[in-house]
Amino acid sequence: MKLAHKIYGEGKPLVIVHGLFGFSDNWVTHAKKFGEYFQVIVCDMRNHGYSPWSDEFSYQLMVDDLVELLDDLGIEKCSLIGHSMGGKVAMHFAQQYENRLEKLIVVDMGVKEYPMHHQHILAAFEAIDLSQMSARSEAERILATFIDSDGVRQFLLKNLYWKEKGKLAWRVNFPVLSAAMTEILGALPEGEVFTPTLFIRGALSNYIVESDYETLETYFPDIQVLTIENAGHWVHAESPDDFFNGALEFLIR
């Protein structure tokens, strides 16, 4: 699949992969800053953002899509940043294409299986009938009955756009993602990756906890873990300066 993507800056390639329900627009500010040091490619995964939709969705397919993008751009080797689901994509890529990686940064995602925890988000979208809505505020009111966090609601509402006059649509394929949720939350297959790897975790998030460190090291022996205080799962958005400085120091070292 041909992924929608944007390129910022010049230099060694750095690819950024967004998380579940996100898309490349969430990373523009960081991409421009990293673009002062690298050629930065931000892409939309299948069923997200501006990329095509497909009834097929798996980590293997997302890795294949990423390889196709790199090949199309003539990129033999890159560094890779992935957040949440994008972090899992990045780890799968690293296991299969380590020879194409310079460095790897995984943002608030571990290798373990996660329990189902997106039900309220998926229920919210099932409750929103866009064919009956004439204003974004109507969708926001329904989201508010399911999701307490204003930050999460605004993050999700970035996926809502005017497809044509008077017709709202989503940029994310919720039915397919809902059906694939077991795989999305599944554990990483066993396999060592010796690429220098940085895990960045939010101190207020439970996606990576200290008891996970030993397991992470069995998969990624050349590992560092950076904890960002006062940040939850959306580390790069909640503490952007600390995230950027920590990632850049690792990348240019």
Give the whole-angstrom CA distance, residue 214 versus residue 221. Answer: 10
Each domain of the chain, given as residue ranges in start order, spans 5-114+188-252, 119-179
Residue-wise pLDDT tens digits, 49-73: 999 999 999 999 999 999 999 999 9
Amino acid at 206: N
Tally the C-alpha atoms within 13 A of residue 27's C-alpha that lie toward its C-beta. 29
Residue-wise pLDDT tens digits, 211-224: 999 999 999 999 99
Instruction: Please say whether the beta carbons of 161 and 168 come within 8 A.
Output: yes
Whether the per-residue pLDDT at 147 is higher than 90: the answer is: no
Rounded (10°) angle between helices 150-157 and 136-146: 140
Q: Does residue 18 have an active-site annotation? A: no
Instruction: Please identify which of the residues 24, 51, 79, 84 carries the catalytic annotation.
Output: 84
Instruction: Please say whether the beta carbons of 89 and 185 come within 8 A.
Output: no
Domain 5-114+188-252 classified CATH 3.40.50.1820? Answer: yes
Give the whole-angstrom CA distance, residue 80 versus residue 19. Answer: 13
**How large is the average pLDDT for residues 133-159?**
87
Instruction: Please identify which of the residues 5, 92, 233, 236 carries the catalytic annotation.
Output: 233
Give the whole-angstrom CA distance, residue 16 versus residue 18. Answer: 7
Looking up tokens 């039915």 gives 175
Whether the per-residue pLDDT at 241 is higher than 90: the answer is: yes
Q: Does residue 48 have an active-site annotation? A: no
Q: Give the pTM.
A: 0.95
Q: Which whole-number Å values give the CA distances from 224 to 12, 95, 200, in the listed order?
A: 22, 18, 9
User: Which of residues 125 and 40 earns the better pLDDT score?
Assistant: 40
